[in-house]
Amino acid sequence: MANTKSAKKMVRKIERRTLINKMRRSMVRTFVKKAEASIEAGDKKNAKEALINAESQIMRGAQKGAFNKKTASRKISRLTKKLINS
């Protein structure tokens, strides 16, 4: 349990940041699922558009610290590979 004033403030800040990161990760998962669904459906035009949106959200999440930059790159790479191979 935090005892000092600064430690209590850090606990509040961490809780807020955790909520924001959870929302960002959830949003990224949603965009990735949409991209994967359109790739599976075989609709190249919508799949490409969904991939661009997913890539944007993934990189934004990485920049904001929701997850590691290498994880973001790996996710984008795998999605792009799925689109190319479909």
Q: Average the pLDDT over 44-71 and give the result.
A: 93
The angle at the Cα of 49, spanning 43 to 52, to the nearest 5 degrees, equals 135
Inter-helix orientation angle 69-85/5-41, to 10°: 10
pLDDT of 2 strictly over 90: no
Q: pLDDT > 70: what percent of the chain? A: 100
C-alpha to C-alpha distance for 29 and 62, rounded to whole angstroms:
13
pLDDT in tens, 29-40: 999 999 999 999
Phi then psi for residue 80, to 5 deg, are -65, -40
Which pLDDT does position 18 carry in this prediction?
95
* Residue given tokens 């005892």 in the structure block: 3
Residue ranges of domains in the chain = 42-86
Confidence of residue 57 (pLDDT cuts 50, 70, 90): very high
